[in-house]
Amino acid sequence: MRSNQPSFFYSTARSVASTFPENHLTFLLRKCISLIQLCASSHFKLKQIHGFSIRHGVPPHNPDMGKHLIFALVSLSAPMPYATRIFRLIRAPNIFTWNTMIRGFAESENPRPAVELYCQMHASSVLPDTHTFPFLLKAAAKLMDVRVGEEIHSIVVRNGFGSLLFVQNSLVHMYSVFGFAESAYQVFEFMLERDLVAWNSVINGFALNGMANEALTLFREMGLDGVEPDGFTMVSLLSACVELGAMALGERVHVYMLKVGLVHNPHASNALLDLYSKCGNIRDALKVFDEMEERSVVSWTSLIVGLAVNGLGNEALELFGELERKGLKPSEITFVGVLYACSHCGMVEEGFDYFRRMKDEYGILPRIEHHGCIVDLLCRAGKVGDAYEYIRNISIPPNAVIWRTLLGACTIHGHLELGEVARAEVLRLEPKHSGDYVLLSNLYASERRWLDVQNVRRTMLMKGVRKTPGYSLVELKNRVYEFIMGDRSHPQSEETYAMLGKITELLKIEGYVPRTVNVLADIEEEEKETALSHHTEKVAIAFMLVNTPQRTPIRIMKNLRVCADCHLAIKLISKVFEREIIVRDRSRFHHFKDSSCSCRDYW
């Protein structure tokens, strides 16, 4: 542990050693502990102090020395093996030391030993205290181990710690991370005292788990309870607005952020940028980006992806070039955004060039997401055979998403034999994903193989696989309305379907002919036309035409890919009714205006 350079530690240690007799270990121990507290910002100095204490007679198993040294190492986020070696030397560690070790592992990349340590602590008859369970629950949340989390919850209750604020906050966070938003809310409901952390945790739990309306309702209750939100609240709230496609509500959140000064919070600003990008409002996304005081790589990446999914691939790549010129290092996720831009704009050669640069210039090893982008790039360009060869040659085992991308391309481009290969691989990896059965059924239907279509649907019934229903969402007067095909329960159904009939008549005057080839079912032509006219995005547009002033934009969010017939029809609707219509489907935005679309019919 010698060093050629002068060190604060050595000069201090020599001074200490010269001021006390060699046998005064208590004095030495006290001085070493003072040095630990003084040098707690340097992992190297802590090791020096530890070595000095042992050489001058402090036993390596001394509990006071070990306790302070472990606490300093954990506070410094030092690697846990060194702290573990010290811990194992202590003959009878107290609860503080056990808790510190549990905390260290809970905050590390490998939280599993935190649970194992608690079991050892219990076997050693050391009773937990108020600090034990928040760290333990944090470890369970990071592990995403529901069984362990529920077991810890039961231990918390049995030990009488269930009413403690920090423990309750940890429980709310854990259940939110597990995806059990209702369980998180149940814990929240029983809390006698609710601080900002508790409100943020439960709101975020709802937002993360697709319960955006519940998140927004809870935010209103939070205001009535007199709790002031912070940047993390805004992030959750804006995420909920994104989930619903509720841009007007998101704009109100933006106004609130301006009012209370939260626009300067970098996390909240990034969430705001994400909101406008994912609601198809690139103009305001760019404005937020330009006004940001601090632009991280996350900010640049969010805007790059936002431009890409809104059909502005060239602008996305220009922004990436600006990022490089500013000397910022793009991340793995940045390159996912760049490859996404190439994929959705048909830039095959550019996509492969960026993929090469990612590896050669930035030393980023391709992850499955990057390979997925390349497969998607080839599939969208119609190079289905090349995509299959690429999948066969990638070094990482392809996942179900990659094979599903190939299966979808086979359906669009009519590669039946290759589609069956892709379906077999998807079936092996994710046997109960409804979308794969639908893709294969559509592939058979496009070849008019109706018996095979029936066999696929029969298999779905036998295995209990249900098709995900399509839906479209629109926002009107601070409410979000959902439309499902065939559902006439809405109070304005009569006016909406009357408008739908009017739309069909006006479109036919413009030369619109329904693309019944898109209805992959063995039914009569007239039934196919009716089925097409009742697609959820068309119903949503009719509803908005009834309820909004002329020439105002219409924004729609849907969960499935927009079909070719709807794409053609909406282009004509934008011309006939003089409306800009923005549709966000499951993979990108379509900005329809004056009979054209921002995707240039490439999606």
DSSP H or E segment with residue 289: helix 282-291
**Mean pLDDT of all residues in the chain?**
85
Other CB atoms within 10 A of residue 208 CB? 18
Sign of the torsion formed by the C-alpha atoms of 504, 510, 511 and 515: negative
User: Using one digit for the tens of pLDDT, what is the confidence trace for 65-83?
Assistant: 788 888 888 888 888 998 8
- Mean pLDDT of the region 112-123: 94
User: Using one digit for the tens of pLDDT, what is the confidence trace for 143-198?
Assistant: 999 999 999 999 999 999 988 999 999 999 999 989 899 999 999 999 988 999 99
- Rounded to the nearest 10 degrees, the angle between the axes of helix 132-143 and helix 165-178 is 0
Specify the pLDDT at position 547: 95
Supply angle C-alpha 556, 234, 170, rounded to 5: 115
Domains of the chain (ranges plus CATH)?
295-365 (no CATH), 375-468 (1.25.40), 475-597 (no CATH)
Both tokens assigned to 31: 């001085």
User: Quick check: 360 pLDDT over 90?
Assistant: yes
CA distance 244 to 239: 9
CA distance 516 to 522: 11
CA distance 426 to 398: 10
C-alpha dihedral (281, 245, 184, 202), degrees to nearest 10: 40
Which residues on adjacent β-strands are paired with residue 481?
A: 474
Specify the pLDDT at position 68: 83
Locus of tokens 């999948």: 391
- Whether the CB-CB separation of 25 and 40 falls below 8 Å is answered with no
Sheet with strand 581-584: strands edge to edge:
479-484, 471-476, 554-558, 581-584, 589-593, 596-597
Q: Write the single-letter amino acid at 384.
A: V
- Whether the CB-CB separation of 484 and 490 falls below 8 Å is answered with no
User: Given 3-state DSSP classes, what are the helix, strand and coil percentages for the chain, each rounded to the nearest 5?
Assistant: 65, 5, 30
Both tokens assigned to 342: 């190439």
| pTM exceeds 0.75, yes or no | no
Locus of tokens 């413009």: 510
User: Quick check: 580 pLDDT over 90?
Assistant: yes
Q: What is the DSSP letter of 537?
A: H
Other CB atoms within 10 A of residue 515 CB? 17
C-alpha dihedral (80, 86, 92, 96), degrees to nearest 10: -50
Q: What is the DSSP letter of 295?
A: -
- Whether the CB-CB separation of 132 and 95 falls below 8 Å is answered with yes
User: Using one digit for the tens of pLDDT, what is the confidence trace for 415-453?
Assistant: 888 988 988 898 888 877 777 677 777 777 766 777 877
User: Using one digit for the tens of pLDDT, what is the confidence trace for 217-264?
Assistant: 898 899 889 899 898 999 988 988 888 778 888 888 899 899 888 888
Other CB atoms within 10 A of residue 132 CB? 24
**Range with lowest mean pLDDT among 4-18, 269-283, 312-326:** 4-18
**Range with lowest mean pLDDT among 214-218, 495-499, 536-540:** 214-218
CA distance 569 to 590: 13
Pairing outcome for strands 554-558 and 581-584: parallel
Q: What is the 3-state secondary structure (H, E, C) of 455-489?
A: HHHHHHHHCCCCCCCCEEEEEECCEEEEEECCCCC
Burial call 240-249: b when 16+ CB within 10 Å, e when fewer: bbbbbbbbeb
User: Quick check: 137 pLDDT over 90?
Assistant: yes
User: Using one digit for the tens of pLDDT, what is the confidence trace for 15-68?
Assistant: 444 444 444 567 776 777 777 777 766 667 777 777 777 776 677 677 887 888
Query: What are φ and ψ of residue 279, in 5° steps?
Result: -105, 10
Q: Where are the alpha helices (DSSP H) in 534-602?
A: 536-547, 564-576
Q: Write the single-letter amino acid at 228.
A: E
